[in-house]
């Protein structure tokens, strides 16, 4: 299995072939609209605006597995993100990222990068606490919470996995390295 063999559902339920992203730099992120990390949409949008013309795509997968913080339907979530944060990047159907119903894209991503990059002692302590309350995080490599971010190079290689506490703007040097 590779990234380009996968198919996901856009927010309208239509198939989206990840093969169409061949040659692009991609950030995949699981999100929620009612989370303490939700303001990261602003940083993600800034990255998108700055690097989209150079080949950056951001794939936003809402997920309600962590504290039920993405309760709306796909249209409500999209309206919230475009209204409050002016997001322009692609938003996909709400999915599970862990467990027996996890979407294959997250199965693939987690196999490729099993550990989050966590910056700073405070963030490491925060992630330890989050991991303890995350009921869907059952095995090594599972997503611990909303706003786990994966950076994928132009060849479909998953090169980094960032913790929810890792701010999008702190990913910029890594993006520059593959853009």
Alpha-carbon distances of 70 from 73, 78, 86, 138, 144, rounded to whole Å: 8, 11, 18, 20, 15
* C-alpha span between 112 and 109 (Å, rounded): 5
Residue 169 in tokens? 């703007």
Verify whether residue 63 is a known catalytic residue. Answer: no
Alpha-carbon distances of 171 from 72, 93, 158, rounded to whole Å: 28, 25, 14
Catalytic option among 35, 63, 81, 137: 35
Could you list the active site residues?
35
């Amino acid at each position: 299995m590779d990234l380009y063999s996968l198919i996901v559902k856009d927010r309208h339920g239509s198939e989206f072939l990840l093969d169409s992203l061949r040659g692009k730099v991609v950030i995949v992120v699981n999100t929620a609209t009612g989370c303490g990390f939700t303001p990261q949409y602003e940083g993600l949008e800034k990255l998108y605006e700055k690097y989209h013309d150079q080949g950056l795509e951001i794939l936003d997968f809402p997920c309600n597995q962590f504290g039920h913080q993405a309760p709306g339907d796909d249209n409500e979530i999209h309206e919230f993100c475009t209204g409050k944060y002016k997001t322009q990047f692609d938003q996909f159907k709400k999915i599970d990222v862990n467990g027996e119903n996890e979407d294959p894209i997250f199965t693939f991503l987690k196999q490729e990068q099993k550990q989050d990059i966590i910056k700073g002692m405070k963030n490491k302590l925060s992630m330890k606490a989050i991991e303890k309350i995350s009921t869907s995080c059952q095995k090594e490599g599972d997503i611990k919470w909303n706003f786990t971010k994966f950076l994928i190079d132009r060849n479909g290689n998953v090169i980094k996995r960032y913790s929810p506490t890792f701010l999008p703007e702190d990913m910029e040097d890594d993006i520059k390295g593959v853009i």
